[in-house]
Structure 1
Amino acid sequence: MYAETQNDITRQVVRVAQLLLAYGAESDLVEEISQRLGKALGLASVELSISSNALVLTSLVHGRCITTTRRIREHGINMALICELQRLCLLAEKGLYGPNEVRRRLAKISPKSYPAHLVIPMIGLSCGSFCHLFGGDLAACLITAFASSIGMIVRLLLSRRHFNLLVTFAATAFVTNILSQIGYRWPLTQTPELAMAASVLMLVPGFPMINAISDMVKGHMNVGISRWGQASLLTLASVIGITCAMQLGGIFL
């Protein structure tokens, strides 16, 4: 294998690893896919070092090493993109894709998200369902669905304007909690506290916390602690928003 070919394959493998980390894959999966893809494309071995905001990848062919570093910028969770990258690895392992095909496929891969007009009502429905499961009456479920839907609109608007994620979570929690206090202002429901509790469940950073625990259990302590810290900060930002809304409304549960 020529040095130019090794360079090209190394760039493709590190791009795959970079996308996997940026869109929420756990570290163990990133290592596995990178090594499998590299070997499928002709590399003798692939070694990967992952930190909280960067990765270092080294490829080896006939005693020649190439090392490259990439910075990781998180873009949110996107499992569809991660599945697409896994499919790309499988096609390369089966011999259906070579370096040229992988390069072309990578160039076409882009994150896809559900449209806002579908996400917003589904968030309202899910939070309203949680309120029902908690024992809330019909009015409380409707208040929850309304408050969480408006909160999701705020979250999407702030995200599109590239506000800091902590600010986005705090503002979303504030708006959502303020609206969910309708049951306290008017006698519409017998369980207003359940509406307040259920409407902000959309802000629970469950996926980052699961990834953090998985990384730490599997030995990726640095990445796991970093993800745990990020999830904890998001939770704290939500708590600050909720507390400010309750102080403003004069409500103390």
Structure 2
Amino acid sequence: MYAESQNDITRLVVQCAQLLLAYGAESELVEDISQRLGKALGLASIEISISSNSLVLTSLVHGRCITTTRRIRAHGINMMVVCELQRICLLAEKGIYGVNEVRRRLSRVEPRSYPAKAVIPMIGLSCASFCHLLGGDVMACMLTLLASTIGMSVRLFIAKHHFNLLVNFSITAFCINIVAQLGYIYPITDTPQTAMAASVLLLVPGFPLINAISDMVKGHMSVGIARWGQASLLTLASVIGITIAMQIGGIF
């Protein structure tokens, strides 16, 4: 293998690893996909070191090493991107994709998401369902539906304008809690506390927490702790928004 070919393949592998980390894949999966893709494209071995916001990748062919470093900028969780990268790796292993085809496919990988008009009502219905499971009455479920629908609309609006995620969670929690307090201000439900609890469930950072635990269990302690810290900060931001709203509404 020529040095130019090794350089090209190394860039493709590190680009794949960078996309996986940026869109929420766990560290073990990133290592596995990177090593498999590199070997499928002709590299002898791939060594990768992952930290909270960067990765270092080394490729080896005939005793010649190439090391490259990339910075990771989180783009949010998107499993469609992760699945597409896994599909590229599988097809490369089967010999269907060569270097040129992998390069073309990687350049076309873009995050896709469901439209807001579908996400917002589904989030509202899911939070209302949790309210019902927690013992809320019909009016509490309706109030939860209203509060969580408004909250998700606010969250998507703020995200569209690229505000800091912590600010996003705090403002969203504030708006949700202000609406949910209607159950205390007006005697429309016997379980207003259930509506307040269920309506903010859309802000629980479940996926980052799962990834954090998975990384720590599998030996990626630094990445796991960083992800745990990020999830904890998101939770704290939500708590701050809820607390301010409850102080304004006099719930305490």
TM band (smaller chain): over 0.9
User: Residues of 1 paired with 2:16 and 2:128: CA distance?
Assistant: 38
Find the counterpart in structure 1 of residue 159 from structure 2. 159
| 1:104-119 matches, cutoff 5 A | 104-119=104-119
For 1:47, what is the secondary structure of its paired residue? strand
> Offset of 1:187 from its aligned partner?
0.9
Identity fraction in percent: 77
User: Residues of 2 paired with 1:66 and 1:160: CA distance?
Assistant: 38
Find the counterpart in structure 2 of residue 71 from structure 1. 71
> Offset of 1:80 from its aligned partner?
1.1
For 1:46, what is the secondary structure of its paired residue? strand
> Offset of 1:64 from its aligned partner?
0.6
The Cα RMSD (Å) is 0.5
For 1:95, what is the secondary structure of its paired residue? coil
Question: Match for 1:50: what amino acid?
Answer: I
Cα displacement string for residues 142-164 of structure 1 (whole angstroms, at most 9, x for unaligned residues): 10010001001110111111111
For 2:213, what is the secondary structure of its paired residue? helix
Find the counterpart in structure 2 of residue 172 from structure 1. 172
Question: Match for 1:28: what amino acid?
Answer: E
> Offset of 1:170 from its aligned partner?
0.3
For 1:190, what is the secondary structure of its paired residue? coil
Find the counterpart in structure 1 of residue 240 from structure 2. 240
Does 1:3 pair with 2:3? yes
Cα displacement string for residues 54-82 of structure 1 (whole angstroms, at most 9, x for unaligned residues): 00000000111100000000111111110
For 1:223, what is the secondary structure of its paired residue? helix
Find the counterpart in structure 2 of residue 132 from structure 1. 132
Find the counterpart in structure 1 of residue 81 from structure 2. 81
> Offset of 1:42 from its aligned partner?
0.1
Does 1:51 pair with 2:51? yes
Question: Match for 1:189: what amino acid?
Answer: T
Find the counterpart in structure 2 of residue 187 from structure 1. 187
List, as ranges, runs of 4+ consecutive aligned residues in structure 1 with deviation greater than 3 Å: none
User: Residues of 1 paired with 2:145 and 2:13: CA distance?
Assistant: 43
Structure 1 stretches of 5 or more lacking a match? none
Q: Report the number of matched residues.
A: 252
> Offset of 1:182 from its aligned partner?
0.9
Cα displacement string for residues 147-199 of structure 1 (whole angstroms, at most 9, x for unaligned residues): 00100111011111111100000000000000011111111111000000000
> Offset of 1:115 from its aligned partner?
0.5
For 2:143, what is the secondary structure of its paired residue? helix
User: Residues of 2 paired with 1:132 and 1:97: CA distance?
Assistant: 50
User: Residues of 2 paired with 1:20 and 1:109: CA distance?
Assistant: 11
Cα displacement string for residues 126-147 of structure 1 (whole angstroms, at most 9, x for unaligned residues): 0000000001011000100100
User: Residues of 1 paired with 2:67 and 2:118: CA distance?
Assistant: 43
User: Residues of 2 paired with 1:145 and 1:127: CA distance?
Assistant: 7
User: Residues of 1 paired with 2:17 and 2:138: CA distance?
Assistant: 47
User: Residues of 2 paired with 1:163 and 1:154: CA distance?
Assistant: 12
TM-score by length of 1: 0.99
User: Residues of 2 paired with 1:115 and 1:73: CA distance?
Assistant: 24
Find the counterpart in structure 1 of residue 101 from structure 2. 101
For 2:84, what is the secondary structure of its paired residue? helix
